[in-house]
Amino acid sequence: MKMRTGSFINGKWVRPGSDKTIKNVNPANIMDVISEFPAAGENDILDAVSAAQNAYKAWKDVPAPERGRYLLKVAEIAKREAENIAKVMTREQGSGAQKGERRIYQGTYRKSRTNKIRLRAGPRCHTRSVGR
């Protein structure tokens, strides 16, 4: 499986300024190089943080139902690609494929169509007792 490498900053793939590379190696078989990618430098990190801060300013004003639709789309893609993601995770962790695929599903939130809650955008405060 060919992986795209580099940094995804502000909606674009960017080749980092550094010529250094990092190898992603299977810990169960160090001869198995999963991928090799360019290392991000300090300026790349600053650009990524700045882009994330700017994106958050817009994202926080998106109504909750719309944000939910985006997150459900991400969940659909994760479910569709679960087998491929699990294969890569298995190699990255040196663990069993079934364990990798389980982790994909654990990270995916699915909600039935009959159990929807409509939310409005705006600040929310939730409290819950913790402890004894």
In the block, residue with structure tokens 């926080």: 60
Q: How far apart are CA 22 and CA 87, in angstroms?
A: 20
As a whole number of angstroms, the distance between CA 71 and CA 53 comes to 19
9 bridge partner residues: 12
| Most confident of the following: 28-42, 59-73, 86-100, 115-129 | 59-73
On average, the pLDDT of the chain sits at 79
Q: Domain map of the chain by residue range?
A: 16-54, 63-110
Q: What is the pLDDT of residues 45-85, one digit of tens each?
A: 999 999 999 999 999 999 999 999 999 999 999 999 988 88
